[in-house]
Amino acid sequence: MSSAAFEHLPTQSETPAEPAPSAQTGLRIGVLALQGDFREHVATLAVLGARPVTVRRPEELDRLDGLVIPGGESTSIDKLARAFGVAEPLKRKISEGFPVYGSCAGMILLADEIADPAQDLSGRPQETFGGLDITVRRNAFGRQRESFETDLDFKDIDQARGPVHAVFIRGPWVERVGDSVEVLAEVDPQHASHTATLGGRSRIVAVRSGNLLATSFHPEVTGERRVHELFIRMIKGEA
Ligand code: GLN
């Protein structure tokens, strides 16, 4: 994940959907494409029969059924979203019940509170769009070289297809959840590859509240489709 993604912005805002293997959902789902691994989310949504639309400008938030905020660097996405005028309308939409799924940096951007926000050169802490009554800790599992993979029991998805294989790359964990927030998955210290950093405790890595869904990990990079499927079911009012 690098800020290089930002230097290669395609000019078109609508990505032609691949022929869907399953029934077309026809849903227009935005993917915030300011920085990070938005292309992987676009590809996953297209395979599931949605119509992914990259979003960089405020007007591109209109006429969407939902939005995905990708993994990347939450400080960069925050700054660019404010610079491009996307942050305020997005916050407003979230408060009105707009469905949003955030992976990794996207989870940080949906959190109402960051335990350890980064500060810019003038000492201003990073901001979030908010909406999820959670406190996240950034890079909680360690830096890039402590990236790890593990299998998770994930609620509300098709269990018959086995556990969710989750890849964590400088991911956050959730330190506090409000009453409205449902925990969907936790990393079990027995099965994580670096039990030392977990301090022997389970750590919350997937949550849902109303129309907001967030994961500390990146289903978009492993071919795991069930998290996006859950998000599509949420948009359709089926989950
Ligand atoms: N550590 C990053 C951040 O703070 C998130 C990493 C990721 O999205 N893979 O935004």
Q: Could you say which architecture CATH assigns to the domain 4-235?
A: 3-Layer(aba) Sandwich (3.40)
CA 52, CA 158: separation in Å to the nearest integer?
23
pLDDT in tens, 123-180: 999 999 999 999 999 999 877 767 888 899 999 999 899 999 999 999 999 999 999 9
pLDDT in tens, 188-218: 877 656 555 677 789 999 999 999 999 999 9
Query: Given pLDDT bands bounded at 50, 70 and 90, which one contains residue 16?
Result: very low
Residues 6+ apart with CB under 8 A from 52: 15, 17, 29, 30, 31, 41, 42, 45, 46
Atom from ligand 1 closest to the CA of residue 1 = 9
* 37 CB near ligand 1 (under 6 Å): no
CA of 144 to the centre of ligand 1 (A): 10
CA of 88 to the centre of ligand 1 (A): 21
What value does the mean pLDDT take over residues 91-107? 98
Of the candidates 60, 104, 228, 229, the residue annotated as catalytic is 104
Atom from ligand 1 closest to the CA of residue 37 = 8
Active site residue 40: no
Of the candidates 60, 220, 224, 229, the residue annotated as catalytic is 220
- How do strand 100-103 and strand 132-137 relate by DSSP bridges? unpaired
